[in-house]
Chain A
Amino acid sequence: MKSLTIKNLSKTYFDPYAGANVTAVHDISLRVEQGEFVSIVGPSGCGKTTLLNMLAGFIPPSGGSIMIDDKPVKGPGADRGVVFQTFALFPWKTVLENVGFGPRMRGLPAADCDRIAREFLSLVGLEHAADRYPNELSGGMQQRVGVVRALANNPDVLLMDEPFASVDAQTRMTLQEELTRIWQERRPTILFITHDVAESVFLGDRVVVLSKGRVLEDMPIALERPRVWEHLIEADTFKALSAQVLHKVRSA
């Protein structure tokens, strides 16, 4: 069982424009068990993106530790897959080549990479787009590719950085439902960063509310799965939970 343990994580950096030190993350401790879906929500500037960047290894923490099982994490790596808000698909590679990138980096033969890529593309119904280039796809399709590209590499943890913020509202709801479906099928460990309260409640087993670099609340979400928007949007439980989270976010 691979769990992610974050202990007393902090990040301070020097802002040349302010001419002073800025603490983005004060003291965050968190534990995520294998197969959990944890949503992290908070207003802009609460440190959630900094947190994700530290978990992904893109920036070094100022203090504290990040461990996968008992191994400390240093720098980026294939054990922590990332899905970006900007999709970050390689424009000069086809969809198939994008999804097969991770396996290729691991040294698998081309045939295997293609096979794995096609398998994951069919998860989101995009096998037919395998030979297209990213700029030929819509935003929603691109992000689906982004998600399966990260998943195809079988990471220990999937870090998602406001992945659906760049698509329109309708597509967003479809993508959220697809994500939960994929998650139920494959059970990856997911850490999902968002500023959208409803999205965080819809997706997660737990919602962690962040504010000004600290954890304000860690709430379990006892909603049944599979979760579908048409049911939940009217459900009292969903509305109550969302209201609770919103209240917490705003109270900061």
Chain B
Amino acid sequence: MNMARQLWSIYLRFTSRFPSLRNIIPFIPLLAAWTLVTELGVFPRAFLPGPTDVLNAFGTLTYKGVLTQYLEDSVVRLAVGAAFGTALGIPLGVLVGLNARIRNAVWPLLLFFQAIGDIAWLPILLVWFGFSLTTMTLVIVYTVLFPIVLNTSLGVRSVSPDLHRAALSLGASKLRVVWEVVLPGALPNIITGLRNGLGYGWRALIATEIIVGTSGIGFMMFDARRAGSVVEILLGMVVLGLLWYLVDGWVLAPIERATGRRWGLVTQ
């Protein structure tokens, strides 16, 4: 027991200078276990290749420019879809949050369409727009829209009425109250919505690329599956997970924390 406690204390102190190490080091035993399992041949190599194989594939595909191209395609699609989804979602969210009548009218619609889910729209989008970029982008927009609208409206409603009243009694018009009070007040929630939306969007993108795809990480994984090449599937998964993990951990979450903390507001 004490040995373990000592080890833990050493670990904490070692990583105290660079706390981000705590997000990296736990993967080491996982990688070790993975290597061990593959070396021992517990599963046939064709089913579960080892980390070195994946690393090799990473090297080859990057060298050939294939991986970078696919990555770029995927990321760009996500960014474009997310941009449209956000541009639509924030104003809608503000409207729904501020006006109770609109909210009551629109809320059930929002819930229902969110329940249908992004993927279920693929077939009909394919009928309308074929196997094209439009189809893929629309799925992303749809996916990103709902978390943003819902979180934005939540944020708008969480702005204390006293803040509205303070601004009004200082001479602000209703429109200025939205710009000066409601939007800044809802910002932490909006960012949470963006973060959630991007998370869902990333997943939806993969599914779309698998089904529709001509390029992209999702397509790479499914194509590899068709060719029976497991290495590339695993590579795709690792790249996916790593990319999101990094973006979320080092960009989105800190932004969320920073806005929440600086303004003394609390985020979920």
- Which residues does A use to contact B, with CB under 8 Å? 56-58, 75-78, 80-82, 84, 86, 88-92, 101-102, 105-106, 133-135, 149-150, 153, 155, 159
The answer to whether B171 and A56 have CB atoms under 8 Å apart is: no
Task: Render B226-268 as a binary contact track against A, CB cut-off 8 A, 1 for contact.
Answer: 0000000000000000000000000000000000001111000
Chain B interfacial positions (CB closer than 8 Å to A): 160, 162-163, 165-173, 176, 180-181, 184-185, 187, 262-265
A53 smallest CB distance to B (angstroms)? 9
Check B169 against A77 for contact (C-beta < 8 Å). Answer: yes
Would B165 and A82 count as touching, CB distance under 8 A? Answer: yes
* Given A58-B165, A91-B263, A133-B262, CB of A86 within 8 Å of CB of B171: no
A contact residues around B171 at 8 Å (CB): 77-78, 102, 105-106, 153
Q: Which residues of B contact A155 (CB under 8 A)?
A: 169
The answer to whether B263 and A153 touch across the interface, beta carbons within 8 angstroms, is: no
- Measured in the bound complex, the distance between the Cα atoms of B177 and A75 in whole Å is 14
Main secondary structure of the interface of B (DSSP, over half): helix
Chain B proximity of A186: nearest CB distance (Å): 17
Once the chains bind, are A86 and B160 in contact (CB under 8 Å)? yes
Please report the C-alpha to C-alpha distance between residue A155 and residue B171 in the assembled complex, in whole angstroms: 10
CA–CA, A105 and B172, complex, Å: 6
Q: When the two chains form the complex, which single residue of B163, B170, B184, B265 contacts A105, counting CB atoms closer than 8 Å?
A: B170
Residues on the B chain within 8 Å of A135, using CB: 263-264
How distant is the Cα of A78 from the Cα of B171 in the complex, in angstroms? 4
Residues from chain A with Cβ under 8 Å of B166 in the complex: 82, 84, 88-90, 149
Q: Are B184 and A88 in contact (CB-based, < 8 A)?
A: no
By beta carbon, the residue of chain A nearest B168 is: A76
Known: A76-B168, A88-B163, A92-B262. 11 other contacts (CB 8 A): A76-B165, A77-B168, A86-B160, A86-B162, A88-B162, A90-B180, A101-B180, A102-B170, A105-B176, A106-B171, A135-B264
